[in-house]
Amino acid sequence: MNFHFELPFWFILLPIFLAFSIFFKKHSKKENDKHNLTSIYLPSFFGSNISFTKNSRKERKLISWFVIILMTSALAQPVNKTKIQSNPDSLRDIIFIVDTSVGMSISDYTLKSEPVSRLTLLKAVLTDFIEKLPNNRIGLMVYADQAYSLLPLTRDKSLTTYAINQIQPAVSGRQNNLSNALNSVLKQYDFKKTKPSVVLLSQGANIEGDINPIEIANRFKSKQIRLHVIGLGSNEETYDNDNENKLIFDSIDEKLLKQLAETTNGEFFWVGKSNNLHAIFRTIMESETIEIKKDTYYFFKNYYQILLYVALSIIIMFLFKATLINHKK
């Protein structure tokens, strides 16, 4: 418990009241003067025509001081402040950059024994993986000709899942402007407060763009942001071992993707088989030790109402008693 007064300066009223009462007492001419000590402490609605015995006047003085102390304490706002840590000690921010160029529609993977496109596989595994991530904020960006922030950093898993399911091939164009996507991440996210995990899921091949992707990767490195890269699609190894599909015409740019990861001290993974993607995601998350400060909240429980209720009850009882005494007389 952390009980304290939010506005303790109100207690200055007590010495002011005391000094005023001493000053007034010295200048009081008559014991029953309507401006005596007791009438100062209690409002005029107590009734100036009510007469008191000597003992009752002392009682009224004591009650008056008690009421003043209660009301001054209420003005000082007594509270109990409880510190609440709403988040766990560590919380990772993860930004996924998803390639949606037309090459991602090529069906060179299988999922549950059915041929699926690169993007279909990515969406299925990514959705399942995010559902199992505890206490993380997920950001989502898609790119092709242009790059778009599809989802800002959020803890809402249902919203994240919905956003991933809406991704379609060529939704942001047909070509692969990788440099624009990486540059957009640097512009749209504030890396001064946190150091998020950035995961690029792409077939590579920077077909468009005036800026060299490696130049932008060096900017990631200067900000101490590691770029993990997951390559999707056929490579030369696939071409040599698969004479039927012959997907070398749209293979991943493995050299470029590896260089991006190495430049930023990140890791590169190639998804050779569908079931590799789950393991790759786990490896990336386990390799990151990024932490951000916990959000701190305070719960305030106010007690001034209790003091006011007590003061009001005393005033009412005093008025009732004084009225009875006056009535009997």
Least confident of 93-97, 111-115, 216-220: 111-115
Confidence (pLDDT) at 287: 64
Residue 87 maps to a domain: no
Confidence (pLDDT) at 203: 80
Q: In whole angstroms, give the CA distance from residue 118 to residue 274.
A: 9
Contact of 82 with 2, CB cutoff 8 Å: yes
Residue 126 maps to a domain: yes
| Nearest Cα to Cα of residue 234 among 270, 278, 259 | 270
Higher per-residue pLDDT: 172 or 75: 75
Domain count, the chain: 2
Residue 303 maps to a domain: yes
Q: Are residues 8 and 41 in the same domain?
A: yes
- Mean pLDDT computed over 304-325: 81
Q: Would you say residue 163 has pLDDT above 50? A: yes
Higher per-residue pLDDT: 103 or 161: 161
Q: In whole angstroms, give the CA distance from residue 24 to residue 36.
A: 7
Residue 135 maps to a domain: yes
Strands 197-202 and 147-154: unpaired
The average confidence (pLDDT) of the chain is 76
- Mean pLDDT computed over 63-81: 85
Q: From the CB of residue 26, how many other CB atoms can be counted at a distance below 10 Å?
A: 7
Paired with 109 in beta bridges are 116
Contact of 209 with 180, CB cutoff 8 Å: yes
CB neighbour list of residue 40: distance below 8 Å, 6 or more residues apart: 20, 21, 24
Q: In whole angstroms, give the CA distance from residue 122 to residue 116.
A: 10
User: Residue 227: left (phi > 0), alpha (psi -120 to 50), or beta?
Assistant: beta
Beta-strand ranges (E) seen in the chain are 3-5, 78-85, 92-99, 109-111, 114-116, 136-143, 147-154, 197-202, 227-232, 268-271, 296-302
Q: In whole angstroms, give the CA distance from residue 99 to residue 141.
A: 9
Give residue 140's pLDDT band: very low, low, confident or very high (50, 70, 90). Answer: very high
Confidence (pLDDT) at 249: 44
- Mean pLDDT computed over 267-293: 71
CB neighbour list of residue 72: distance below 8 Å, 6 or more residues apart: 10, 11, 13, 14
Q: Would you say residue 179 has pLDDT above 80? A: yes
Q: Are residues 270 and 316 in the same domain?
A: no
Give residue 209's pLDDT band: very low, low, confident or very high (50, 70, 90). Answer: low
Q: Are residues 271 and 303 in the same domain?
A: no
Prediction pTM value: 0.58
Residue 318 lies in domain: 3-81+298-328
Q: Would you say residue 244 has pLDDT above 70? A: no
Q: What are phi and psi of 226, to 5 degrees?
A: -85, 135
Q: Are residues 137 and 221 in the same domain?
A: yes
Paired with 201 in beta bridges are 98, 230
Show the 3-state SS of 260-314. HHHHCCCCEEEECCCCHHHHHHHHHHHHCCCCCCCCEEEEEEECHHHHHHHHHHH
Q: Are residues 132 and 30 in the same domain?
A: no
Higher per-residue pLDDT: 115 or 248: 115
Q: What percent of the chain has pLDDT over 90?
A: 5
3-state helix vs strand vs coil in the chain, percent to 5: 45, 20, 35
Q: Would you say residue 177 has pLDDT above 50? A: yes
Give residue 275's pLDDT band: very low, low, confident or very high (50, 70, 90). Answer: low
Q: Would you say residue 36 has pLDDT above 50? A: no
Residues 100, 105, 109, 110, CA torsion sign: positive
Q: Are residues 274 and 142 in the same domain?
A: yes
CATH of residue 117's domain is 3.40.50.410
Q: Which two tokens stand for residue 106?
A: 């090529």
Strands 3-5 and 227-232: unpaired
Give residue 250's pLDDT band: very low, low, confident or very high (50, 70, 90). Answer: low
Least confident of 218-222, 238-242, 279-283, 311-315: 238-242
Residue 293 maps to a domain: no
Q: Are residues 121 and 177 in the same domain?
A: yes
Q: Are residues 68 and 171 in the same domain?
A: no
Q: What are phi and psi of 90, to 5 degrees?
A: -125, 145
Q: Would you say residue 89 has pLDDT above 60? A: no
Q: Are residues 178 and 249 in the same domain?
A: yes
Confidence (pLDDT) at 97: 92
Q: Are residues 321 and 277 in the same domain?
A: no
Paired with 268 in beta bridges are 229
Confidence (pLDDT) at 45: 40
